[in-house]
Structure 1
């Protein structure tokens, strides 16, 4: 069992993260991944030039580790890899990589979904978009919280 949770200040390389997971999880029956990208449009439909994820290194890293460890405890998975960007990103840049390996597919899919629901609502980041309408702070939506409550 491995649980990796990393905070990435430089660009995120999903193929490299997948390769590392695949190297680690030899013998698993399933690998499920998710890559989140910086969107070009805000919720209001305005153009976004830059997404900024401010963070407190220790608190943010601890929140990522806690979420990844909880998935490993909750689901029948063998390996978890969570890598989350921080800092300034352009539209289309990868923000988050979640990879889960397990003996069977269902646990891997559920664990990846769980991880994203928790990351979206609980990871310690201060998010803002910069674009044509100025600077807008981003908070999780009620839908995000409803998705998170499915796991309670």
Structure 2
């Protein structure tokens, strides 16, 4: 089960990255054109939020099953000195939890901007912050923190 969830989580990261980029692009275009933020926009940004929440739940399940996370918490004094174990046991979960909390808050709060032009400006900066937090917290193959393959099929 753990391996299957890890594969799904790895594939879903691409869905999340693409969804966030589409969200940023949509927000930027609408902001540039000074469009009014409507309930239809809110609906689609909520869809993106739900994609992130699904990825988050999968990540939480992996967090409870991961041997690396269990090793981190069983020997925390030693584990904080090991870059890879610390990343997966502490840094990655913390940053992703922070990202999902911020994103849910931003989308929820954007509801008050429906029928105004301020919604897209608010969402643009929120999306940008969340995208940066998520992007630097993913274990990319080029990451200085720890590396994982870009596609995991094992």
Give the TM-score taking structure 2 as reference length.
Answer: 0.29
- Structure (1/2) with the larger strand percentage: 1
| Higher Cα Rg, which structure | 2
Higher helix share goes to which structure? 2
Instruction: State the TM-score, normalized to the length of structure 1.
Output: 0.29
